[in-house]
Structure 1
Amino acid sequence: MDGRTRRWAGHREARRLELVDAAVVAIEEHGPEVTTEQIATQAGVSRPGLYRHFDGKDDLQAAIAARSVERLVTELEPVWRPSGKPREMLERAISAHLRWLSEHANVYHYLKRNSLPSSEESESASTNVRGVVSAHVAQMLVDGSLGAEIPPERAHPLAYGVVGMVDAAAAHWLDEPHGADVGALGAQLTEACWAVIRVSVGSRVVEALDQVGAESVS
């Protein structure tokens, strides 16, 4: 690939990202039932002009899903850069997840409606983000980033189970809050997850985790 070809490919990719970001804005404004025409209008192009950058509707939806997952993962910064006591990190990560869902409910519902797997090998956007977060948490449990090294045979089921529980509970809350606000749900999920961790790894490990970062707050 020569320089000119690389520059053209870079320009096309940048333009495609601009259109995806415009699509997300349109979804935020018009809801999960947003039309292609509304997306094109938000992007300042015609419908055919929009699809010159995508291989049909499925490609556009996949790009929107990928961009939304990228933004959500960015919001979960507390998970990727451990600091302070593990329980506090857990609380911050859950709060970040709930905050993103509450602030971008239309995008989340759009992903649920339009990002379903088309084959056994593919993933939905929600499955993808659960997998990404779970894998990171499992690795930190194994390598001791959270304050104690946990055997892989315990760390992986624990990480995937806790992340799955939070994701399922948050998705249900978004549809049916039952009077709970973000703060109340965050506190409840933090307590539930910490209880699961305590049972899974044992009291000695939990006591060690409780001491991590204690000197920074004393």
Structure 2
Amino acid sequence: MTEEIPDDAPVDGRAARWAGHREARRLELVDAAVAAIGEHGPEVTTEQIAARAGVSRPGLYRHFEGRDDLQSAIAARSVERLVHVLEPVWRPSGRPFEMLAKALRAHLGWLEANANVYRYLKRTSFGTGGESATTNVRATVAEHVAGMLIDGSLGAEIAPPVAHPLAFGLVGMVDSASAHWLDAPHGATRDQLATQLTEACWAVIRVTVGPVDP
């Protein structure tokens, strides 16, 4: 039988290993929950998540402080995965227009492959502040984009007071258009939308900062 470590036990090697085991198990359950959402959609039930994880409903909640904690963990994991997909974009290489196109293709590819997860995030709070998970995704990505605008990675060095509103505006436009396309594509393919959004974002950047070498 596995030895239980009391919450108030001294932090020694045994307690640290136990904490690491619990964290690893929690992550496994979160990944199972994300898979269940992908299979069953944003209306997924706790029972379906538990079944996907191979545990009982009470067994699932032994690792989370209620449904809100589980939802927050799912949101955090999904944000982490999307940022990982976009990670190569944060290490600039190539011409600015090509980098922008690459980032948008990666975003739309993730969105299309994880449509049900994205729909789940739209209705889920992130953390304890009541912020929606998709709002957190937009903020995370926009901060990265602002950094690239400031350091000149996208063709011109832009002052922070201009770069941050521009970045959040661009990300908001892309997110809104992508979400609409996901639910009502109107015949547009992913590549067509990526091209349209790339050209639109590039036009906004040029209007804001003047001529930029693509």
What amino acid maps onto 2:81 in structure 1?
A: R
Matches within 5 A, 1:122-137: 122-137=130-145
Is residue 166 from structure 1 mapped to residue 177 from structure 2 by the alignment? no
Q: CA deviation at 1:158?
A: 1.1
User: What is the letter of the counterpart of residue 113 of structure 2?
Assistant: E
Question: CA offsets per residue over residues 22-51 of structure 1, 9 Å max, x none?
Answer: 111111111111111111111010000000
Residues 69-98 of structure 1 deviation map (CA, whole Å, 9 limit, x = unaligned): 111111112431111001101001011111
* 1:154 equivalent in structure 2: 162
Return the alpha-carbon distance in structure 2 between the equivalents of residues 199 and 63 of structure 1.
40
CA apart distance, 1:134: 0.8
In structure 2, relative to structure 1, the CA distance for the partners of 1:118 and 1:69 (3 Å cut) is closer
Aligned residue number for residue 214 of structure 1: none
Quick check: 2:42–2:116 contact (8 Å CA) kept in 1? yes
Alignment of 1:20 with 2:51, yes or no, is no
Counterpart residue identity of residue 19, structure 1: L
Which residue does the alignment assign to 2:208?
200
Q: CA deviation at 1:167?
A: 0.6
Distance 1:186 1:175 in 2: 16
Rounded to whole Å, the distance in 2 between the matches of 1:185 and 1:38 is: 34
Please, which of 142, 146, 152 is the counterpart of residue 144 of structure 1? 152
**What SS does the aligned partner of 1:146 have?**
coil
1:117 Cα deviation (Å)?
6.0
- Aligned CA distance change for structure 1 residues 117 and 63 (closer, same or farther; 3 Å): closer
Matched residues, number: 204
CA distance in 1, matches of 2:35, 2:65: 21
| Greater helix proportion | 1
User: Cα deviation per residue 1:147-204 (whole Å; 9 max; x = unaligned)?
Assistant: 432111221111111111101110111111111110010000001000000000012x
Q: What pairs with 1:101-112 in structure 2 (closer than 5 Å)?
A: 101-112=111-122
Give the fraction of aligned pairs with identical amino acids, expressed as a percent: 73
SS of structure 1 residue aligned to 2:131 = coil
Q: Distance in 1 between matches of 2:175 and 2:65?
A: 31
Match of 1:71 in 2: 81
TM-score w.r.t. length of structure 2 = 0.91
**Counterpart position of 1:34:** 44
**CA distance 1:118–1:59, shift in 2 (3 Å):** closer
SS at match of 2:60: helix
Q: How many angstroms apart in 2 are the aligned matches of 1:80 and 1:25?
A: 27
Matched position secondary structure for 1:79: helix
Normalised by the length of structure 1, the TM-score is 0.89
* Amino acid corresponding to residue 191 of structure 1 in structure 2: E
Q: Does 2:51 correspond to 1:47?
A: no
Q: Distance in 1 between matches of 2:73 and 2:140?
A: 17
Tell me, in whole angstroms, the C-alpha distance in 1 between the residues paired with 2:195 and 2:137: 22
Q: 1-side partners of 2:185 and 2:155: how far apart?
A: 34
